[in-house]
Amino acid sequence: MAPIIAPQMAFRAFRAAPQPAPWARLTSQLPRAQPAFRRFFATPAQEQPRLRLGSTAPNFKALTTTGQIDFHEFIGNSWTILFSHPADFTPVCTTELGAFAKLKNEFEKRGVKMIGLSANDLGSHEEWIKDINEVSSTSVEFPIIADADRKVAFLYDMIDQQDLDNIDQKGIAFTIRSVFIIDPNKKIRLTMMYPASTGRNSAEVLRVIDSLQTGDKKGVTTPIDWQVGQDVIVPPSVSTSDAKKKFGEVREVKPYLRYTKI
């Protein structure tokens, strides 16, 4: 038979049970505070990928001025430059796109594809390209990604840290000027990041590609300000005797600093 509990005992047990404080009951009815990111930005908060040199470039699908792309399919077996811009119809971006368009033949000689990104929709891009072609007397033929919601910009961490102050009318952070050089294996080989106020140096992008491709083919490194045709550096991992067998003449400045021609 189950024990009989007197009514007064049950009442005392009920009174003894811990009750939430009045303020706790009140706050439990309020909407939960959202992280600052969610309150201010349309793009979902998430941990950004670690885009280190040598890591695989994140894949994505996007609309561009030349149609829908899968980024890894776009890269294929080529070297690729992905470069971002804060917005259409802005002065610095207009000069940059014109400069890259004029270097089309130089990039093609090196087997390099170009693809731009700007934080506006496709219709805006198409109108902006007309201005670029007029101002720079060129023809933009490489695709420009339409990234109005900044999905690709956030994926590649192309965002200004001053995002709470530096936002557009949608409440989304501006996209900075980033450059990613990606090799045929989809590996990130170089990154450059510039503030929105500073235009890039297109000749430096070409110089870096020459250095990377030369290093991959010849097993050498390149000194500061190196240009094609100048002496290269024998890596420390290669002995001087082996370097002479491979390259011929080796000029030793220091045991760890040796130049050669290729």
Q: What are the residue numbers of the active site? A: 93
CA–CA dist 255, 209 (Å, integer): 28
**In 10 A of CB 125, how many CB atoms?**
24
DSSP 173-204: BPB-EEEEEE-TTSBEEEEEEE-TTS---HHH
CA–CA dist 221, 215 (Å, integer): 6
CA–CA dist 110, 50 (Å, integer): 28
CA–CA dist 150, 131 (Å, integer): 23
CA–CA dist 42, 23 (Å, integer): 32
Tokens, residue 151? 């999905």
Tell how far CA 128 is from the center of its chain.
22
CA–CA dist 119, 174 (Å, integer): 8
Q: Please, are residues 227 and 207 in contact by the beta-carbon 8 Å criterion?
A: yes
Max Cα-Cα span within the chain: 104
- DSSP H or E stretch at residue 68: strand 67-70
